Amino acid sequence: MQSTIFRNEDGDVSLLEDKLISIIGFGNQARAIALNLRDSGLKIIIAPHTEEYLSRAQKDNFQIEEIPKAIKLADFIFILTDDDFIINNFENSIKPSLEEGKTLIFANGYSVAYNKLQLPTTIDVLLLSPKVPGIGIRENFLTNKGFFSFVSVYQDSSQNALKTLLALTKAIGGLKRGAIEVTSEQQTIMKLFSTQTFTYALIQIMMRSILRLVDEGYPPEAIFVELILSGEGGFTVDKMIEVGMIKQMNFHSQTSQYGQMSRGMKFRQVTKKVEIIQRSILQEIKDGTFVNEWEKEDSKIKLNIMRNSIGQSRFSKVEREVRKKLNFEHIDLLTDSKIPSESEIAALKLAEFQQQVKEFYGGI
């Protein structure tokens, strides 16, 4: 399937002059987008949905309004909150102010792809998904490097939605490297697939590699520096981006190249099993099995069981000690991970799940 890729010359920011843009939310991504739009000469209103975000928007000197009013006033509305907030608040706080002719922009297609929202037919609905985190959106805009984006028109009531989409994408810096046209469904499936079959699978391999060396008696601090903390892995990824996944090996010694390729062949049976698992996970994402599972009452409890279990795992303890000895700052990102009570686990019949999690993370 051939892709449509839009470039900087395809967008015309002047189409947005005298228009008002509202941004719902003010997390890292929303803040970066808001600052970029403002620096592109556009008028912005922020509707923060938490006290923390309100304070942050005030410090950045943005005009602030409640969500319904921000939507009422604006021509274009970015919805930049988490999926749960969008789904739970759309009918009461967002939809009533979506008058005919307005444009709604999502950075994540989840709620649209899985038909979680009853969207008015009299508005334009767009996907504008920057493929870098919030800090990258801002830094690459300021350095004029730009970044890749995924874009699409989901609903074109005005018959002018594509021009609006490309103008907005250019205004935030998302056409500089190229904006690839994908559907909301494709963007959502690719995002879920990458996190479920690649990101954590890679972490698992790294954790088990580290513990293998720990068990062999090598110094934990040296192991972490060798495998993670030196930044050599990041250098390799940078070179993959620069010259390609295969050609980056030329930046390593011939000994390293030989070892990587000759010993990599020993993983053939493993990769065959991985492919089977990947096919299963992809199918569950595509047919809605994963979404239905995530939206069940017990999903958040399951998440907290898993987060707490990995936080107490042997690997986590080793890592905390190493980072402390090497003077890395301690940052606790699990403060919202409430430990489920035994009564909750019993009521939701999660005892078997809890035991499976303990056995799995007990191995790391």
For 174-220, the pLDDT digits (tens) are 999 999 999 999 999 999 999 999 888 899 999 999 999 999 999 99
Q: Is the pLDDT of residue 287 over 70?
A: yes
Mean pLDDT of the chain: 92
C-beta contacts of 71-75 below 8 A and 24+ residues apart:
71/22, 71/24, 71/47, 71/97, 71/98, 71/102, 72/97, 72/99, 73/20, 73/22, 73/45, 74/20, 74/21, 74/22, 74/45, 74/102, 75/19, 75/20, 75/21, 75/101, 75/102, 75/103
Decide the pairing of beta strands 148-155 and 124-130.
Answer: antiparallel
Q: 133-142, 200-209, 342-351: which range is least confident on average?
A: 342-351
Place of tokens 């759309």: 90
Of 49-53, 56-60, 331-335, which has the strongest mean pLDDT? 56-60
Q: Say which residue, 2 or 69, is predicted with more confidence.
A: 69
Q: Is the pLDDT of residue 233 over 80?
A: yes
Residue-wise pLDDT for 96-122, tens only, equals: 999 999 999 999 999 999 999 999 999
Q: Say which residue, 334 or 306, is predicted with more confidence.
A: 306
The reported pLDDT for the residue numbered 103 is 98
pLDDT mean over 259-276: 89
Q: Is the pLDDT of residue 337 over 70?
A: no
Q: Is the pLDDT of residue 292 over 80?
A: yes
Band of the pLDDT at 333, cuts 50, 70, 90? low
Q: Is the pLDDT of residue 231 over 90?
A: no
Structure tokens at 7: 């470039």
**What CA–CA distance (Å, rounded) separates 92 from 106?**
18
- Conformational region of residue 82, where left means phi above 0, alpha means psi within -120 to 50, and beta covers everything else: beta
Which residue in 165, 176, 197, 181 sits closest to 271, CA to CA?
197
The reported pLDDT for the residue numbered 269 is 84
* In the chain, % of residues over pLDDT 90: 70
Band of the pLDDT at 335, cuts 50, 70, 90? low
**What CA–CA distance (Å, rounded) separates 16 from 40?**
10
Q: Say which residue, 213 or 308, is predicted with more confidence.
A: 213
The reported pLDDT for the residue numbered 334 is 56
pLDDT mean over 11-27: 96
Q: Is the pLDDT of residue 336 over 70?
A: no
* In the chain, % of residues over pLDDT 70: 98
Query: Which amino acid, one-letter code, is at 326?
Result: L
Q: Say which residue, 310 or 160, is predicted with more confidence.
A: 160
**What CA–CA distance (Å, rounded) separates 327 from 324?**
5
